[in-house]
């Protein structure tokens, strides 16, 4: 089977601005993702051009190897033009989500094709959930349908806790767009693999809804919104009731003298409430 034409072509094209940006810092500054430049100066092109720049050659290689590896199959199943749409649509989706999260961070900067590549990978997962996904240098692979939701959850946690110097928001935005475009281009396969699409999209939707309703949750490390807090409180009440019922049953069977100090304290607290 021949290598992906799209993957190789994009890798070659991306190498040129990456080289220019690494050689000339002012060139990279002119085209990287910059919140103020996009929102204030209306330089919307940066949402695309930033995907052709990288921090270093290792960053470039990691993205391009993933792109070439997964775009080959997509090129066959979706066609040349549609695969390009998935790539650039995911690049835009990643940039838009990053722009949303960093709309108040005027000095935020980012480079890399990770959002676009995430979309390509997620499109593959939706269309081929039983395929294997391996890791460079490691003799290990896991099913695509397992990797997909794990990747989404890792991205959400990365966004929430600002893990590492990584654009988790661009990864998530690209993954969402890639999954949806794959489903749109091959709906018959997406319907057959509907459960995979749900495993990927539902966590994203829940996270974004919680964030829209509770914008402050990004400022407090362990706060996931009032809805989650209410659910946790409800679960605690259910667990407490079950424990009280167990203690009362123990009293009926063995008498009150059989209770431990902790069980007696729990009953007293329950009476106070």
pLDDT, one tens digit for every residue, the chain (273 residues): 455 789 999 999 999 999 999 999 999 999 999 999 999 999 999 999 999 999 999 999 999 999 998 999 999 999 999 999 999 999 999 999 999 989 888 889 999 999 999 999 999 999 999 988 877 666 678 899 999 999 999 999 888 887 767 888 999 999 999 999 999 999 999 999 999 999 999 999 988 888 888 777 776 666 655 544 554 454 555 566 677 777 778 778 877 777 787 777 776 776 655
Rounded to whole angstroms, the Cα distance separating 135 from 115 reads 19
Q: Is the Cβ–Cβ distance between 211 and 217 less than 8 Å?
A: yes
Structural domain boundaries in the chain: 5-218, 226-272
What DSSP letter does each residue of 8-74 carry, written as one string? HHHHHHHHHHHHHHHH-HHHHHHHSEEHHHHHTS--TTHHHHGGG--SSHHHHHHHHHHHHHHHHHH
* The pair of three-digit structure tokens given for residue 263, joined into one six-digit string: 């069980």
pTM listed for this prediction: 0.79
In words, the CATH class of domain 5-218 is mainly alpha
Cα(53)–Cα(46) distance, rounded to whole angstroms?
10
Q: How far is CA 251 from CA 240, 242, 264, 266, 269, in A?
A: 17, 14, 11, 13, 17
């Amino acid at each position: 089977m021949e290598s992906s034409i799209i993957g190789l072509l994009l890798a070659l094209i991306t190498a040129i601005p990456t080289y220019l940006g690494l050689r000339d810092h002012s060139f990279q500054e002119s085209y990287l993702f910059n919140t103020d430049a996009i929102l204030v100066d209306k330089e919307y092109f940066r949402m695309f051009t930033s995907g052709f720049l990288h921090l270093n050659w290792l960053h470039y290689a990691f993205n391009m190897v993933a792109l070439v590896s997964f775009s080959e199959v997509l090129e066959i199943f979706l066609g040349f033009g549609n695969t390009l749409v998935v790539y650039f649509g995911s690049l835009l989706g990643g940039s838009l989500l990053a722009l949303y999260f960093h709309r108040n961070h005027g000095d935020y900067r980012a480079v890399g094709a990770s959002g676009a590549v995430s979309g390509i990978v997620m499109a593959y997962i939706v269309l081929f959930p039983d395929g294997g996904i391996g890791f460079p240098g490691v003799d290990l692979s896991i099913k695509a349908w397992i990797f997909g939701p794990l990747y989404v959850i890792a991205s959400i946690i990365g966004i929430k806790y600002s893990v590492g110097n990584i654009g988790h928001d661009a990864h998530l935005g690209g993954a969402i767009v890639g999954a949806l475009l794959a489903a749109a281009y091959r709906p018959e396969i997406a319907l057959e693999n509907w459960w995979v699409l749900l495993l990927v999209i539902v966590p994203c939707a829940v996270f974004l809804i919680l964030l829209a309703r509770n914008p402050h949750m990004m400022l407090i490390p362990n706060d996931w919104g009032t809805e989650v807090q209410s659910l946790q409180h409800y679960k605690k009440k259910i667990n407490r009731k079950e424990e009280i019922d167990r203690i009362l049953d123990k009293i009926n069977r063995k008498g009150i003298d059989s209770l431990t100090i902790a069980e007696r304290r729990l009953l007293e607290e329950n009476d106070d409430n």
